[in-house]
Amino acid sequence: MMLMPSKMVRIRFTIPKACYDETVTFLGESSIMQLEELPDKVKEMFLDYNVDDYEKINSYLQRMRSLRSILPAAKSGTVQEFKSNRQAFRSADSIKIDETVAKIKKEQEEILSEIKDARSELEIIRTVSDLRGNLNVLNTSYTDSFIATGSRFDDFASYIKGKTDADTIKLSKCGIVTVPKASEGQLAGAASAYGISLNKLPVFHGDAASESTRIKKRIKHLEISNRNAQKRLASISKEYYNKISALEEYLDIEAQKASLVTRVKGSEYLVILEGWMEQKNLDRVKERLNKISKGAFLAEEIENAGLAPTQMQNPVTFKLYEFFIKFYSLPKSNEIDPTILFGIAFPIFFGFMVGDFGYGAIMLGLALWLVHRINHPPKRSRIPRSISRFIRTIMSKRSLLMIAKVIIPGSIIAMFLGVIFNKYLGFSLPYPTLFNLTENVGTLLLISGWIGVGMVSFGFFLGALNKLYVKDIKGMIGRIGWILAAWGIVILGLAVLNKESIGPSNISALASYALLIVGIGLILKSEGGQALMEVPSVVSHMLSYTRLVGILLASVILAQVINLIFVSSLSSSIFVIFAGVAILVLGQIFNIVIALFEAGIQGARLIYVEFFSKFLSGNGNQFNPFRIKRHAFQQENSSKAAPTTPK
């Protein structure tokens, strides 16, 4: 079926042990197979397969990662290639810079710590810069001084003077409190009571100006020392960085492959791998394994292997909408994938509920701007940080990007319908209106009602197809019963609305009774009597689609009211005109925001609740193939020399 996820197959490969490494490398770089635990009956037949040098690989890998994290990036000539673990280990052993690099790194950390302390002292000097005289008198063997900040410093100073032998000085930026060391406990309690922040004043040996000059010279000297240390690291990096990065790349891949040991069994000569892959890729994998093993491999498709993981396969045009399906629930591998259906229905519902050319154009512009902004972020944002932080707490950049992209087609449909409805920010242009909203409310409600009937019926039809696909005949009969019962209710309801007879004289009424009786009978047979409790829900789901019209009319009428207030203000005083303009601008912004959120939320709800519930159970497991991840280093240097596939 076209709407089904990709067909999966569980396959078991038996390969020569000598081909294991190259096979796993191929599978990992292709991201083509989700490796699984072997069944117990197979495990009993074979020994655990242990990867040689597993502990060594991790040990060397951690060492290379540590070195590369310290060394500054440096590009040199060629990229080192490794053909075996032994060669990589020898190359790693030849790098004897660990102690030197660690020593320089420790020296840098001490320098940076001193710079931080010095800058902190310089900031304190700036805070007390209007204090005259030698600062060494503030801290003695008997007294300590504190910088005090807070709005109630005067009250705090009066209190502490009355309790201790404290001296206080009020400066422009702070206050200074000098107390005997024995009284520091009382000082802390009083500061807390008066909301005063205390910071101990460091010991200085001169006036503020001379101390500031001394500290600046010290910072400059420390920065020179830090640059010299960085130059020494850069010199080492120039010689070793490429080699270390290549080793880390190679060892990381080997560690990823080694992580499979719990899922691999074998003997002295053979190795067994088992897992899921897309059926369309099976021939390609067999062809490659045949080449790797020179035909010495076995491939066995596992029957009745249980429910496969789900890999969605949709046209590129609809890939965007997979995000919204996964947000609801990932379909099982044997269920219909509703991505394409969502991609068709949601923009139509969204555009219909907005129904205004001006609103659609503004939403389109906003969506295009968001897409460009997220894909090309500016160096400095003009959006207030509080707003940016609030948006980030609600959704990630990826989520915002997906929402912006999905609004684009809906906005275009809103613009198209706005031309038909002759609605431009609530105003009408001087051309004949093709469809007048306010004069055709009944027609709109009828259209939305039929949309509801169609969506609910189509949902049950898809449910019946899905049940047939998994050979659940009883479930398929139940879905058909719901379709018949729903149409019986619709036909009978139309007869009542049109004030027609619902007796034997009305053929349509008789048809509705027949549909209801047959439908309910099929439901009772397949799902039991308790299922009839869902009949009111099915009716409400069909009627729920009338909200398409309700939201559209609410937006249109609010826009007309806002515009009417503005137009009526133009014949009044200048103050009233300004008020009318403000109401127009703020009111239209408010209406656009409401239209955007209401159309988006209600459009998705009509699909999620009223449509998906008829055929989609969800809770599928995402296909997660084994991957070997390449580093940025390897990608940057691939044009020069790509690392050889390990053998």
Distance CA 199, CA 210 (A): 22
pLDDT tens for residues 419-466? 999 999 999 999 999 999 988 998 999 999 999 999 999 999 999 999
Reduce the DSSP state of residue 143 to 3 states and report it.
strand
pLDDT band at 647; cut points 50, 70, 90: very low
- Phi, psi for 498 (deg, rounded to 5): -85, 5
Map tokens 């319908």 to a residue.
417
Q: Which residues contact 544 (CB under 8 A, 6 or more apart)?
A: 452, 606, 609, 610
Please report, for residues 241, 337, 580, 613, the alpha-carbon distance to residue 617 in angstroms, rounded to integers and kept in the order given: 52, 11, 52, 7
Amino acid 98 reads D
Name the percent of the chain in helix, strand, coil, to the closest 5.
65, 10, 30
Place of tokens 């490398």: 25
Q: How many CB atoms lie within 10 A of CB 305?
A: 16
330 bridge partner residues:
none
Closest CA to 198 of 249, 239, 123, 144: 144
| Three-class secondary structure of residue 104 per DSSP | helix
Strand-pairing partners, residue 272, are 14, 265
> Quick check: 153 and 159 in contact, CB under 8 A?
no
- Whether 544 and 509 have beta carbons less than 8 Å apart is answered as no
Indicate whether 308 pLDDT > 90: yes
At position 539, the amino acid (one-letter code) is: V
Here the tokens at position 629 are 């991840």
pLDDT at 50: 59
What lies within 8 Å, CB to CB, of 394 at 6+ separation is none
Instruction: Answer for the pair 417, 552: CB distance below 8 angstroms, yes or no.
Output: no
Parallel/antiparallel/unpaired status of strands 270-278 and 265-266: antiparallel
Q: Across residues 613-619, what is the average pLDDT?
A: 91
CA–CA separation, 466 and 283 (whole Å): 28
User: What does the pLDDT average to over 374-389?
Assistant: 74
Provide the pLDDT for residue 46: 58
Mean pLDDT taken over the chain: 86
**Weakest mean pLDDT among 110-114, 163-167, 271-275, 353-357:** 163-167
In 3D space, the residue among 616, 619, 308 whose CA is nearest the CA of residue 462 turns out to be 616
Looking at the predicted structure, is the pLDDT value of residue 195 above 70? yes
- Tell me the residue length of the chain: 647
Percentage above 90 pLDDT, the chain: 45
The model carries a pTM of 0.71
- Asked if pLDDT for residue 78 goes beyond 70, the answer is no
Mean pLDDT value of segment 272-298: 91
Q: Phi and psi at residue 417, in whole multiples of 5°?
A: -70, -30
Q: Say how far apart CA 535 and CA 486 lie, in whole Å.
A: 8
Task: State residue 367's pLDDT score.
Answer: 94
**Long-range Cβ contacts of 458-463 (<8 Å, 24+ apart):** 458/611, 459/610, 459/611, 459/612, 459/613, 459/614, 459/615, 460/486, 460/614, 460/615, 462/3, 462/336, 462/338, 462/614, 462/615, 463/614, 463/615
pLDDT-derived band at 143, boundaries 50, 70, 90 = confident
Structural contact between residues 101 and 71, judged by C-beta atoms closer than 8 angstroms: yes
Angle of CA points 303, 308, 311, to nearest 5°? 135
| Two structure tokens written together for 285 | 């994998």
Report CA-CA distances (Å) from 126 to 120, 130, 201, 216, 646. Answer: 10, 8, 12, 12, 61
Query: How far apart (Å, rounded) are the C-alpha atoms in residues 350 and 344?
Result: 11
* Lowest mean per-residue pLDDT among 4-8, 33-37, 380-384, 521-525: 380-384
Nearest to 42 by CA among 267, 263, 260, 265: 265
Q: Which ranges of 336-472 does DSSP label H, i.e. alpha helix?
A: 339-354, 357-375, 385-394, 397-421, 441-469
pLDDT at position 644:
36
Radius of gyration of the chain measured on its C-alpha atoms? 37
454: helix, strand or coil: helix
Is the pLDDT at 633 greater than 60? The verdict is no
**If you average pLDDT over residues 564-572, what whole number do you get?**
89
CA pair distance 529, 170, nearest whole angstrom = 85
Q: Judge whether residue 645 has pLDDT over 60.
A: no
Percentage with pLDDT > 70 across the chain: 91
Q: What are the angstrom distances between the C-alpha of 320 and each of 223, 236, 373, 594, 610? A: 50, 47, 18, 24, 22
Task: Give the SS3 label for residue 376.
Answer: coil
Task: Supply the pLDDT for residue 499.
Answer: 80
Ramachandran area for residue 61 (φ above 0: left; ψ -120 to 50: alpha; else beta)? alpha
Residue 409 in tokens:
């087609």
Pairwise CA distance, residues 471 & 226, whole Å = 73
Where in the chain are the domains? 107-221, 333-436+546-613, 443-543
Residue with tokens 């379709």: 483
| Position 114 pLDDT exceeds 70 | yes
Structure tokens at 596: 């955007």
CA proximity to 519, closest of 483, 470, 473, 481: 481
Give the 3-state DSSP-derived string for 190-243, with helices as H, strands as E and coil as C. HHHHHCCEEEECCCCCCCHHHHHHHHHHHHHHHHHHHHHHHHHHHHHHHHHHHH
What is residue 263's predicted lDDT score, i.e. its pLDDT? 67
What average pLDDT does the segment 90-115 reach?
91
The pLDDT of residue 636 is 45
Q: Which residue's structure tokens are 């120039």?
A: 238
DSSP state of 177: E
Mean pLDDT of 117-134: 83
Report the CATH fold assignment for 107-221: Alpha-Beta Plaits (3.30.70)
CA distance 541 to 535: 10
User: Within 10 A of 450 (CB to CB), how many other CB atoms are there?
Assistant: 13
Residue 310, classed as helix, strand or coil, is: strand
Kindly report, residue by residue over 491-549, the tens digit of the pLDDT.
988 888 888 878 777 888 889 889 999 999 999 999 888 888 888 999 999 999 999 99
Tokens in use for 366? Answer: 């906003």
Closest CA to 438 of 563, 549, 587, 596: 549
